[in-house]
Amino acid sequence: MVAGYGLRSGVGGAGVFLSWILDTGCYATATEDPAAAGPLPLANDGFKFSMPVHFHLAMPLFNREMKIFSGTAHKELALKIAESVGVPLADATVTSFPDGESRVKINENIRGRDVFIVQPTCPPTNHNLMELLILIDAARRASAYRITAVIPYFGYARPVLIRYIQQKRIDNLAIVSPDVGGLKLAAAYAEALSATLAIVGKRRKSPTETEALHVIGEVEGKNVLLVDDLTETAGTLTSAAVILKKQGAKDIYAGVSHAVFTEIAHKRLMHSEILELITTNSTPVRLHPECRITVLSIAELLGEGIQRIYSNESVSSLFEINAVQ
């Protein structure tokens, strides 16, 4: 018997979908009689040996049933993904022991199934990551054929944001990176939205506070979209909005793939120059009635990714920013 595990990642190796393939019960034979199978020669630097091996497919390679599981990090998103795919969320008990250790029990048969586990690595990061690993281990021990970790807390929510901005039809738009490190991301947005590009130079005063110093590029008389992959305190965005307004910018929007808001973020957004902050439900978003926050769903996007993996189709093209029109 030949058995093994293989690891592959979707999205060009960057990793929103991570798949473990478990091949079990696979035998090889040249005849219908295993006893009549000839030896398979194997060579290895200076010596040779042979062993009888025969192949027999224990299950068909295709048409395996799909199972979507969720950890505790964002079950609401997992339910929406399952709904978009058209399957029920699979049954698993995911709780904690009294000492805080994660407890996982899969409550249905998944032997030979194609398993997808939805779990963003948002705070509490260590707990959610460990819970994901324990879910993967439980599925592997239950003899799932393939295990794919769906981790929405990566930078692949951008196509959803771009589609939303296109629908708003904001004229005379400039894409602004709130710091030098986000220039590549901002350039991708600018190309996809046929907008101009600018950068805000900043100085970090503390872990939660930054100061915007200057603007590189033209923003006077333009509507502005600040873009970033992640915000927690909104310090970089709100300080950038202040200097952009001083430079003559008109309406200021912010587009953030993942919003892990703290209390200070809400306070800053309430008194900021940002007209609307647009984010996604890749993590649970803490809303505030006095903050202008729009949350877009990535459930259909991830559901389509799951369908493509299940059907052995390309996933990379789904997340190409320039392909979204």
Phi, psi of 247 (to 5 degrees): -85, 5
Distances (CA, A) of 246 to 130, 209, 249: 46, 19, 7
Lowest mean pLDDT among 44-53, 226-235, 258-267, 295-304: 44-53
Q: Which domains does the chain possess?
A: 2-22+63-152+304-310 (3.40.50.2020), 157-297 (3.40.50.2020)
Confidence of residue 20 (pLDDT cuts 50, 70, 90): low
- Residue of higher predicted confidence among 150 and 9: 150
Q: Is a pLDDT exceeding 50 seen at residue 206? A: yes
Return the closest-CA partner of residue 119 out of 131, 107, 134, 101: 131
pTM score, whole prediction: 0.72
- Residue type present at position 287: L
Instruction: Return the HEC string of 97-132.
Output: CCCCCEEEEECCCCCCCEEEEECCCCCCHHHHHHHH
Q: Which of 22-31, 98-107, 160-169 bottoms out in mean pLDDT, i.e. has the lowest?
A: 22-31
Please state, in angstroms and rounded to a whole number, the distance separating the CA atoms of residues 291 and 128: 28
Q: What is the pLDDT of residues 240-272, one digit of tens each?
A: 999 999 999 999 999 998 998 888 999 999 999
CB 16 within 8 A of CB 8: no
| Neighbouring residues of 86: CB distance < 8 A, sequence distance ≥ 6 | none
The number of residues making up the chain comes to 325
- Computed on alpha carbons and rounded to an integer, the radius of gyration of the chain in Å comes to 25
What share of the chain in percent tops pLDDT 90?
57
Q: Is residue 267 annotated as part of the catalytic site, yes or no?
A: no
Most confident of 5-14, 39-48, 55-64: 55-64
Which residues, listed in sequence order, are joined to residue 43 by a DSSP beta bridge?
48
Q: Is the pLDDT of residue 292 over 80?
A: yes
* Percentage above 70 pLDDT, the chain: 77
- Give the model's pLDDT for residue 89: 97
In the predicted model, what is the mean pLDDT of the chain? Answer: 81
Examine the pLDDT at 55 and tell me if it is beyond 50: no
Q: Which of 67, 75, 80, 202 is catalytic?
A: 202
- Integer Cα distance of 123 and 229 in angstroms: 16
The pLDDT, as a whole number, for residue 314 is 87
